[in-house]
Structure 1
Amino acid sequence: MNVPHGFSLQERLMNKGTAVPWQSGMDMRCWYPVSVDAGKDAIAMCWRDMGNTRFSDSFFENTLARQPREERRVCRTPLSALAQLEDSLAPAAFFFHISRCGSTLLTQMLATLPHCVVMSEPPIIDSLLRLHHDSSAIDSIALLRLAMLAMGQRRFGHEAHYVIKFDCWHIHSLDLIRQAFPGTPCFFLYREPQAVLASHQRQRGPQMVPGMLHPALLPLPEHALAPGDLDGYAGLVLASLYETAHRHAAAGKLALINYSQLPGIVFSELLERLGIKPTAEQLQTMRERSGRHAKYGTAFNGDLQAPAGCRLPAIAAQLQPGYLALEALRAAP
């Protein structure tokens, strides 16, 4: 069964461009997998040729949108075309997060480094995870591994480090993702619940809108929320993310990073842990980037407060035990 999802239009837009016919043995360097299309007869991989366009934007899709229209080329291939790419890096780190917690800031800081490949929420991951739940005729682990390797291409010759930031709901798929690269360290970024809820109240992410995501990718308990209670739904989603992250962190699968530790922990611990050694000039560029808005690049003056009289403090209070449980794990020796 091919379950509809809320990213269909987005994927169609990302896959628009001059069509290039695929041929067996075709050189796929500089081509990046964007999504899979499960048709009636076969499953196709949809690619974009990115040429020399570097992935330096806040999100994968922003870089695709930045590419000039006249340079956009697309190609549909069999899934086997993933195995044709050779000069790629294995991921050095996976970043999972609770959303609106500094994960984009962290990856934007790393993306300033010319020798660091940063893939921020590449849609092919979600596309393959949906396919995993809709089709039993594929090797999901092999496809995830090949897709992640394809996104770690060394196009410019000096790339030495490669990290992936996943969508926040992908923490529910951590075990499946880790099977593709069992030795890759995994980090989870989180924040106190009221700040996260307030951010989503101002601009809701797709996970906070019922029906946007494939139901298997965001498992939620039965509930009796009133139709249109988006704040209540956001509380359910956050509760599931806190709980799932705690379970994995308690099992030793995740290293925890609190929003309050950013950006300092990048310089004091994370760079060394990942084996990244920036020059003094590159460190200064990273520090300058850390002072700007993670998504928009403008000066960051702090988060806006939730409007008076709203329900968010009450919802956040219900989520506080999940947040404190992560804090206790992070503080444990």
Structure 2
Amino acid sequence: MAPVNFDGWLPIRIWKTAGQWQVDWCWFGDTPLHQPFFREAVEDALRLPFNQAFRRQTPLSALMDWQALSPGLPPSAFILHASRCGSTLISQMLARLDDHIVVSEPPPLDALLRSDLPNEERRAAIAGLLSAYGQRRRGMEQRLVIKLDAWNIGEWPLLHECFPDTPWLFVYRDPLEIAVSHLRRPGLHMVPGALGDCVLDDDLPFEGREDFIARRLGRLLEAGWVHCRDSAGLALNYSELPDAMSGRLARFFKLSAAQCELALAATAQHAKQPSQPFVVDGEHKRREASALLQARVEHCARAPYAALERLRALTISPTDPPSP
């Protein structure tokens, strides 16, 4: 039987049914992934008449078969983050570069990272998935950058095993500002019971949303600090953005001066809502925080944040732009 060709197709969903893992594919052709999140790119692609008429579903083994037939670009960088802290801004800046493939929080990767597959099979499937995302669909791509979901900091050791030489960074922010954002509009990992088992669980009763969010945020920041310390992650504070793209991040992503200039052009608009201008809102968020939220964040999240700041200070060059 001739091997199946997946030119122009990308995996959009991976799930388990009747004990078997399946992959749902969608045709993108040579359309770049320029949306803030992968799921938005999928929604746009599914509106195409072709994708409404034709769908591909395969066993999980198709990922490895396609990798063997057509190896994609290996990941050049991973972006992990504490959520609501500028990681989408970074990915959107990089998405402006024609030689970059930027895949932002793809649900299939989260599904594999948190699956019950045996470790060897899971590692092979993850490598096959990222090879599929790393296909040179336009012919000019040279680098593949993957931004993970915030809670995937718990699966970082597994991903690091798969790609031990790939550099990575952890983006974070003043925890009070993150907490206020989640009180306004909680992410999936900040809703009790919505995500399932993950590293953010402490299996203790909680009292109200402020307590729940602050405790989860503290565990997230602590995990980020531990992994940055133990596996050479670059700690980056939101306060460094966007100027870091012409300093520390330019070196991290190996960007030329022309690429930095093009990437920085993305900062005029809101990263998650490109039709709106970007507005600095840290001070407003801090003023909005209740006394209860401030107390819980200080108790649960301030220490790991301070540890990240100490670690970050060790990596800042005297020539880097100062944080505001």
Smaller-chain TM-score bracket: 0.7 to 0.9
Question: Which stretch of structure 1 is more off in the superposition, 191-200 or 267-276?
Answer: 267-276
Structure 2 counterpart of 1:201 = 183
Question: Which stretch of structure 1 is more off in the superposition, 217-226 or 249-258?
Answer: 217-226
1:76 is aligned, of 57, 61, 64, to 57
SS state at 2:297 partner: helix
Equivalent AA in structure 2 for residue 329 of structure 1: L
1:87 Cα deviation after fit: 4.5
2: CA distance, partners of 1:25 / 1:292: 44
SS state at 2:225 partner: helix
CA contact (8 A) 1:87 1:154 kept: no
1:219 Cα deviation after fit: 4.0
Question: Which stretch of structure 1 is more off in the superposition, 248-257 or 114-123?
Answer: 248-257
Equivalent AA in structure 2 for residue 265 of structure 1: A
2: CA distance, partners of 1:221 / 1:69: 44
2: CA distance, partners of 1:52 / 1:165: 21
1:141 is aligned, of 118, 123, 128, to 123
Structure 2 counterpart of 1:31 = 9
Say whether 1:112 aligns with 2:96: yes
Structure 1 counterpart of 2:226 = 247
1:74 Cα deviation after fit: 2.5
SS state at 2:138 partner: coil
2: CA distance, partners of 1:145 / 1:307: 43
Q: Percent identity?
A: 32
Structure 2 counterpart of 1:331 = 313
2:209 is aligned, of 217, 230, 240, to 230
1: CA distance, partners of 2:228 / 2:178: 20
Equivalent AA in structure 1 for residue 265 of structure 2: E
CA contact (8 A) 1:96 1:186 kept: yes
1:37 Cα deviation after fit: 2.3
SS state at 2:114 partner: helix
Question: Which stretch of structure 1 is more off in the superposition, 51-60 or 95-104?
Answer: 51-60
Say whether 1:123 aligns with 2:101: no
Structure 2 counterpart of 1:93 = 77
Q: 1:315 to 1:170 in 2, by over 3 A?
A: same
Q: 1:25 to 1:287 in 2, by over 3 A?
A: same
CA contact (8 A) 1:161 1:276 kept: no
Q: 1:141 to 1:309 in 2, by over 3 A?
A: closer
Structure 2 counterpart of 1:302 = 280
SS state at 2:247 partner: helix
Q: 1:285 to 1:38 in 2, by over 3 A?
A: same
Say whether 1:211 aligns with 2:193: yes
Under a length normalisation based on structure 1, what TM-score does the superposition of the two structures give?
0.86
Question: Which stretch of structure 1 is more off in the superposition, 150-159 or 312-321?
Answer: 312-321
2: CA distance, partners of 1:300 / 1:34: 29
SS state at 1:157 partner: coil
Equivalent AA in structure 2 for residue 178 of structure 1: H
1: CA distance, partners of 2:311 / 2:76: 23
CA contact (8 A) 2:176 2:289 kept: no
1:317 is aligned, of 272, 275, 298, to 298
Unmatched 5+ residue regions in structure 2? Answer: 316-324
Supply the RMSD in Å over aligned alpha carbons: 1.9
CA contact (8 A) 2:267 2:278 kept: no
- How many residues are paired up? 304
Unmatched 5+ residue regions in structure 1? Answer: 1-22
Q: 1:211 to 1:308 in 2, by over 3 A?
A: closer
Q: 1:137 to 1:242 in 2, by over 3 A?
A: closer
Q: 1:191 to 1:289 in 2, by over 3 A?
A: same
| Greater fraction of residues in helix | 2
Under a length normalisation based on structure 2, what TM-score does the superposition of the two structures give?
0.88
Q: How does 1:14-25 map to 2 (within 5 A)?
A: 25=3
CA contact (8 A) 2:33 2:102 kept: yes
Say whether 1:267 aligns with 2:246: yes
CA contact (8 A) 2:12 2:108 kept: yes
Structure 1 counterpart of 2:38 = 60
SS state at 1:188 partner: strand
2: CA distance, partners of 1:46 / 1:96: 25
SS state at 1:142 partner: helix
Structure 2 counterpart of 1:4 = none
1: CA distance, partners of 2:119 / 2:166: 27
Equivalent AA in structure 1 for residue 57 of structure 2: R
1:138 Cα deviation after fit: 6.4
2: CA distance, partners of 1:330 / 1:80: 41
Q: 1:239 to 1:296 in 2, by over 3 A?
A: same
1: CA distance, partners of 2:106 / 2:186: 19
1:177 Cα deviation after fit: 0.6
1:172 is aligned, of 139, 154, 175, to 154
